[in-house]
Amino acid sequence: AQSVTQLGSHVSVSEGALVLLRCNYSSSVPPYLFWYVQYPNQGLQLLLKYTSAATLVKGINGFEAEFKKSETSFHLTKPSAHMSDAAEYFCAVSDPDGNEKLTFGTGTRLTIIP
């Protein structure tokens, strides 16, 4: 069974500072990995995805993530936080050889300090 663990349910950073949201995965096969962002009372928007191509993945809004097999990690980063980045972020994993349903982490709420 596959799973993801997001360390830190709440992360606060100052505006302009580095954003680092952690995600570790557990999967018996090389997984597909996703980061989604959710604003209050809205659905999920895809930030970026890893599907066994380049290990450094660039997404929208200046976010990127690096797939590290040795560390089983897929941490999300952004060099400079903006107030509009305040939201809930979910890491998700999909087994490409299975039924392809997504398994989500518990989420990290990002707060930006002015």
Partner 1 sequence: GAVVSQHPSWVICKSGTSVKIECRSLDFQATTMFWYRQFPKQSLMLMATSNEGSKATYEQGVEKDKFLINHASLTLSTLTVTSAHPEDSSFYICSARDRGFSLAGYTFGSGTRLTVV
Task: Select 1 or 70, whichever has its Cβ closest to partner 1.
Answer: 1
Measured CA to CA in angstroms, residue 53 lies from 31, 32, 33, 56, 108 at distances of 11, 10, 11, 9, 26
- Minimum CB separation of residue 106 from partner 1 in Å reads 5
Give the residues lining the site for partner 1 (CB under 8 A): 32, 34, 36, 41-46, 49, 51, 90, 94, 99-107, 109
- Minimum CB separation of residue 43 from partner 1 in Å reads 4
Task: Select 34 or 85, whichever has its Cβ closest to partner 1.
Answer: 34
Q: What number of other Cβ atoms are within 10 A of residue 105's Cβ? A: 23
Q: What number of other Cβ atoms are within 10 A of residue 96's Cβ? A: 12
